[in-house]
Chain A
């Protein structure tokens, strides 16, 4: 990505638009941790439903009524264990899950009074002390002598490794980046995971032992699938997605300040000092998913004067939930629907504006076929990522739309190879789904290897 800070008169991109205190406030915890009293009162709202709809809605099937009742009864660590039994990344999921479309949408109190039990916040309350303690509450299983190669240290890979460790199966994780955690570390909005939580959670998971991480190792580059097949008893692929999609417009790759949102967010997440991060005065974000929302909201929080998110389709088609949209809008982001970019304007080799054409949607933004232009000092592209099947080096693994096809046990079509997380076909692109994939794959692997969870 090229970010150019231009002289006045040209585009306006600067670091440090806001002072340190304001930035600190803007990037503070989105939902502060519940106090014990708040947690108890909220926990008592749970009806302890039969065959709980919330649990059914949870991709990892956490026994939500049980952990909430444990909170109500003052057993916080027991509540944490109930959560970790189903989801070792319950801490991060409590922060980033779109609960409004999962457990909380299913909560009967949502039906009753449009006010579900705040399951996500209770889950965070339950898990916080155990993760802060830094030690996995599970014991590593008796050694089986089996070894599994895991590609990618993201949520799927870490969950898989932890579950295998419980079964006494050691694993080696091959990870291209410096830190473990995947999108938890490099992707998710900063205000959802403050105080270096992703790294703390990764350390908590790794504390079980029997998990080695080899950094700087990308599949298809430093390490080949056939090597892993030779050296390990099983392989789990959890490398996430590859390159981001492009608009396909002229000058897209040449103009400065046309930026890949995924890269920018990673840079933001790793920034020691947010006031050193350049941000435009007028920012345009193209896309309708979580990455687009995160880029838009964080641009605003960094001090952009105007942020407009433009999505080619309507509200209903948007991947970002109503809650996320509201978060963006209350942060001052303007959302425009049914418009697609048709031209990038530049002054010299620097972006100056984006021209859009309205689609034939609801006509709310503009009449179909009409053209409008937005001044833009910075343009974020958040229009999805492609799979990276080329890393498989042509191995006989079925791939659809660039993503790996798996069965219910997360087995690929190649024996001895499992996969999970964003890289598999039909996934939800959620942390919680990736954790479930890793867990299910580990159980399947352990069964095949004759190792079972203690």
Chain B
């Protein structure tokens, strides 16, 4: 049986599944329920500075988009950081950590952008004996209007500055949580590293308005007739998170910076994908908010079974293994040829492959053979784009087949040619410029 224990910045947890800083981790009662269900760790919902707590709206704070069967595809929220008194939170964090020593307990923080505020809150949090802190530079709604959250995360200089303050004022590990509402996520990640942060976690939620109510002409989630953008999460954001995690994992400046991955993780497979991109732990929120804490049991067993099937004894055995396969477009082998192939035994004759190729791509799938409805790839036109395999409703009916022998009827070139990428391609102007030198 695979060993799922993780050690992230010296913080140990029985499995890599942590609950992200969010509504499910706002109070002791929730967190203890989560631990009982089997979660390996928790990032306590973001604490603010001492004094009167923030005030949330008393009405809809979540929105969503659904699939046809009401499956939740994405959710968003306009909830602020914890609206409970700081002292209560600190007391509960202390109690929970004492009762659950084997679980990771990180405290998320967001205070105004001055050193004193951070120094003060860190001193208070240390007294709880929690395992570390996560700096919330990510929330895109509400707090960002007050100069916190993503307003900090979008300015690399601020990220570096606050990270530096925190490292100066605490012995605890410091994780910087990044916002995806930025052009190049490597910039704040590099800043965090430069500032001395021990790790980054990403992604926080994405600026979003989920739907417009066409009868009321307002967002569909409104407070007294008005709405505002929220932060989006859930299955739909996973591809964005995977890409951002990969960018940091591949970045030479960020090399070795531990990553706690967040973004649409719903099953063990999602988690394994992030681990393959280098994540040391994963954080989950929407799946728990959709199904309850029990979902972790599927994640834990699924990950263990996968690792057993692959012979990975620990998470470290496959962590980061997919990173080398991700590169820049210019390094892709332009002499590699794949073409679609339709398994006629599996084909149910819906014709979607044909019509999408005909209308929107390369006119490379015949709809009739000898006057009879049949869908067959025309290799003389197929560029192997993969659209047909994606729209085909039957799994494995259309596959891309690597062509290794013979001549490509589309280009007249041999299939079997030495790999060559754009950097050396005759059509690349840079190649000519270099030759002229």
Chain A contact residues, CB within 8 Å of chain B: 37, 40-41, 43-44, 47-51, 53, 72, 108-109, 111-112
Contacts and interface: CB of A to CB of B under 8 A. Distances in A.
Given A108-B349, A109-B348, A50 B354 contact: yes
B367 A47 contact: no
A108 B367 CA distance: 15
Contact of B350 (A43, A44, A49): A49
Contacts of A72: 68
Nearest to A45: B68
Interface string B337-375: 000000000001111101100000000000100000100
Contacts of A109: 348
B147 interface: no
A79 B69 CA distance: 20
B354 A108 contact: no
Contacts of A48: 352
Contacts of A44: 67-69
B351 A112 contact: no
Chain B interface size band reads 10 to 19
Contacts of B367: 50-51
Interface of B: 67-70, 348-352, 354-355, 367, 373, 393-394
A111 B69 CA distance: 23
B344 to A, nearest CB: 12
A112 B348 CA distance: 6
Nearest to B358: A50
Contacts of B394: 112
Contacts of B69: 41, 44
Contacts of A50: 350-352, 354-355, 367
Main secondary structure of the interface of B (DSSP, over half): loop
A47 B349 contact: no
Given A49-B349, A72-B68, A112-B394, 9 more contacts: A40-B68, A41-B69, A44-B67, A44-B69, A48-B352, A50-B352, A50-B354, A51-B351, A108-B349
A146 B367 CA distance: 45
A339 B21 CA distance: 76
A336 B121 CA distance: 86
Given A47-B393, A50-B354, A50-B355, A111 B348 contact: yes
Nearest to B391: A47
A38 B376 CA distance: 35
A310 B394 CA distance: 43
A49 B373 contact: no
Main secondary structure of the interface of A (DSSP, over half): helix
Contacts of B70: 37
Nearest to A37: B70
A112 B347 CA distance: 8
A112 B393 CA distance: 9
8 contacts: A49-B350, A49-B351, A49-B352, A51-B351, A53-B373, A108-B350, A109-B348, A111-B349
Contacts of A37: 70
A73 B265 CA distance: 28
Nearest to A112: B348
B18 to A, nearest CB: 34
Contacts of B350: 47, 49-50, 108
A370 B357 CA distance: 62
Given A47-B393, A112-B393, A112-B394, A53 B349 contact: yes
A51 B70 CA distance: 30
A109 B350 CA distance: 9
Nearest to A42: B68
B299 to A, nearest CB: 27
B349 to A, nearest CB: 6
A125 B67 CA distance: 20
Given A50-B354, A112-B394, A43 B348 contact: no
Contacts of A108: 348-350
A300 B218 CA distance: 56
A43 B68 contact: yes
A37 B68 CA distance: 8
A53 B350 CA distance: 8
Nearest to A56: B373
Among B67, B70, B350, B352: residue with most chain A CB under 10 A: B350
B342 to A, nearest CB: 14
B203 to A, nearest CB: 29
A43 B68 CA distance: 9
A446 to B, nearest CB: 33
Contacts of A49: 349-352
A111 B367 CA distance: 18
A40 B70 CA distance: 10
Nearest to B373: A51
Nearest to A110: B348
Task: Kindly list the 3 A-B residue pairs having the minimum CB-CB distance in the complex, ordered from nearest.
Answer: A50-B351, A44-B68, A50-B355
Contacts of B393: 47, 112
Nearest to B349: A108
Nearest to B355: A50
A156 B367 CA distance: 35
A52 to B, nearest CB: 8
A109 B352 CA distance: 13
A111 B352 CA distance: 15
A72 B373 CA distance: 27
Contact of A47 (B67, B352, B354, B373): B352
Nearest to A44: B68
A366 B106 CA distance: 80
Contacts of B68: 40-41, 43-44, 72
A433 B250 CA distance: 65
Nearest to A51: B351
Nearest to A46: B350
Contacts of A53: 349, 373
B112 to A, nearest CB: 46
A373 to B, nearest CB: 49
B243 to A, nearest CB: 28
A108 B348 CA distance: 6
A72 B354 CA distance: 23
